[in-house]
Amino acid sequence: MKFSDFNLKETIQAAITEAGFTEPSPVQRDAIPLILEGHDIIAQAQTGTGKTAAFGLPAMSLMKADGSVEGLVIVPTRELAMQVSDELFRFGKLSGLKTATVYGGTPYGKQIDRIKQASIVVATPGRLQDLLMSGRIKINPSFVILDEADEMLDMGFLDEIKNIFTFLPSKRQTLMFSATMPNGIRKLAEQILNNPKTVSITKSEKTNTKITQLYYVVQERERDDALVRLIDYKNPDKCIIFCRMKKEVDRLVAHMTAQGFKVSGLHGDMEQKQREVTIRAFKQGGIDIFIATDVAARGLDVNDVTHVFNYHIPFDSESYVHRIGRTGRAGKSGEAITLVSPNELRTIKKIEKDVGTTMASQVIPTRMEVQNNRSDELIAKIADTKVTDKAIELVKTLQHDLDIVTIAHLLASMIQSENSVKGKDNIGLGLEEIALLMERAMQQRGNGGGGGRNRRRSGGGGGGGYRGNRSGGGGGNGRNGRNGRSGGGGDRNGRSGGGRDSRNGGQGSRA
């Protein structure tokens, strides 16, 4: 099935095509026809399955763009409000549909002005209730959508939501989306929905099948070391670590920062501006690791999270579903990893039963396995890289002064320690970047090896002294800052690059 089969408004279909979407996800496939037919619906779908498009595309296809507020979307958090608003604007801009985002912590005046110009309002319950009760806004939406309804219930917004609906027209189409269906949500649905159709997900489909779920049994005192080793071994591009409490987030941020990781925390005590800066840095690659509590991370929508780590197992199955739904988004695969103590194994089995999933038991990798895995990744990257003409010419130039083995050793050292070109890990360089490094090597070959810097950890640099230069000498292992001091300096003849730890020190090259 394709999106074109839904016969959406031409401008909406054009926006879908522009976004590169062709085939709908299961929740989109089932929900869109029902919404187009005018039914209220209650849909159970986990985070990351395309719920925004599932309700947004059909609703916008039916809107008139007459200058009034035709759609209201209620979401639990500010972050989700901004993300949903951005996505709806992308789909509706060709139809002349504007969005307004409403949440606390920002001036009322600007938000009210935007509401007056908007076709769709995306709001958090608290601020929306304030605006309606104070009479600052009056809206008459044809479509009302509750997104992440179970999270709003968990966050204590049930009374606000009930109150908001007293200000809304009785003649409306109401759509409710929720990852889980606790009794509170079912009772709310009975009160606000009119003969709803159900879009259900079977128990075995509650968790994304593209997410590999693993657990590791550790003693309580081993959690920190196990987490660091797993991150070193898995080498995630971007990951979220979930903790139960705010103080746990702060402690773990301090610990991971001390280990040299680019990490930041998120919890409820942070100011909104600080939250926005932190989330933006995570999305844009300024930080690689996000440590957060369940509540703080609700509504966080980042499509390229490759791994989720549960530092402690969540309190309930619903929280587990929400946590791991932060990876494996937008059709991509992901991994969810949970650390458990021996007495928590019973909880693992309960979660598996509740959500209809299976978590595979694994053993924490040894330090040697971590090192070997990194070496294998580097070798595979080099083997798959295409050689460019520019690189060949540079090697020929370098061969006037260095033998081919020395060039290879120098280049391998620089690849392992250098990250200034792309900010990726040890295997993140292509041949064009390697060519740049080789040019740098030519310019610096009389100055010995410099200190490199890994994306996540800092350590000593690679290559040794050259042609009797006084400053020749290798750095330490580029992956471990503690070993970075072990590299010895070469003597003035470039013969003795050895250090106190010959495994980690670079060697000076012979003249």
The sign of the dihedral angle between the CA atoms of 193, 195, 199, 202 is positive
Single out the residue of 189, 187, 178 nearest to residue 150, CA to CA. Answer: 178
Whole-angstrom CA distances from 13 to 3, 36, 60, 205, 330 are: 8, 14, 11, 28, 19
Tens place of pLDDT per residue across the chain (511 aa): 889 899 999 999 999 998 878 888 888 999 999 999 999 999 987 666 778 899 999 999 999 999 999 999 999 988 788 889 988 999 999 999 999 999 988 889 999 999 999 999 999 999 999 999 999 999 999 999 999 898 898 888 999 999 999 999 999 999 999 887 888 888 999 999 999 999 976 544 556 678 899 999 999 899 999 999 999 888 888 899 999 888 889 999 999 998 888 898 887 677 777 877 888 888 887 788 999 887 667 656 677 889 999 999 887 777 788 888 888 776 678 899 999 999 888 889 888 887 778 899 999 888 887 777 666 666 666 667 777 777 777 777 777 777 777 777 777 766 655 433 333 343 444 445 555 555 555 554 444 444 333 444 444 444 433 333 333 334 444 434 333 333 444 443 333 344 434 334 443 333 3
B/e letters for 292-310, b = 16+ CB within 10 Å, e = fewer, are bbbbbbbbbbeeebbbbbb
| pTM, full prediction | 0.54
- What is the CATH number that goes with domain 211-365? 3.40.50.300
Q: How far is residue 134's CA from residue 383's CA, in Å, rounded to a whole number?
A: 66
Whole-angstrom CA distances from 7 to 33, 43, 48, 425 are: 10, 22, 24, 45
Q: Which two tokens stand for residue 339?
A: 């650390």
H or E segment and range at residue 266: strand 263-266
Q: How far is residue 228's CA from residue 2's CA, in Å, rounded to a whole number?
A: 43
Cβ partners under 8 Å of residue 125, min gap 6: 74, 76, 152, 157, 160, 161, 164
Q: Which two tokens stand for residue 398?
A: 């370098």
Residue 323 and residue 317 in contact, taking contact as beta carbons nearer than 8 Å: no
Single out the residue of 149, 148, 147, 191 nearest to residue 170, CA to CA. Answer: 191
H or E segment and range at residue 120: strand 120-123
Q: How far is residue 79's CA from residue 296's CA, in Å, rounded to a whole number?
A: 10
The whole-angstrom distance between residue 467's C-alpha and the CA centroid of its chain comes to: 47
Q: Which two tokens stand for residue 298?
A: 């609700």
- What's the residue count for the chain? 511
Residue 37 and residue 86 in contact, taking contact as beta carbons nearer than 8 Å: no
Residue 337 and residue 216 in contact, taking contact as beta carbons nearer than 8 Å: yes
- What is the CATH number that goes with domain 3-201? 3.40.50.300
The whole-angstrom distance between residue 510's C-alpha and the CA centroid of its chain comes to: 47
Query: What are φ and ψ of residue 165, in 5° steps?
Result: -70, -15
Q: How far is residue 156's CA from residue 38's CA, in Å, rounded to a whole number?
A: 30
The widest CA-to-CA distance across the chain, in whole angstroms, is: 88
Single out the residue of 74, 102, 50 nearest to residue 301, CA to CA. Answer: 50
Q: Where are the domains of the chain?
A: 3-201, 211-365, 370-486
Single out the residue of 203, 204, 144 nearest to residue 176, CA to CA. Answer: 144
Do 211-365 and 3-201 fall under one CATH topology?
A: yes
pLDDT at 472: 38
Q: How far is residue 121's CA from residue 127's CA, in Å, rounded to a whole number?
A: 12
Residue 33 and residue 6 in contact, taking contact as beta carbons nearer than 8 Å: yes
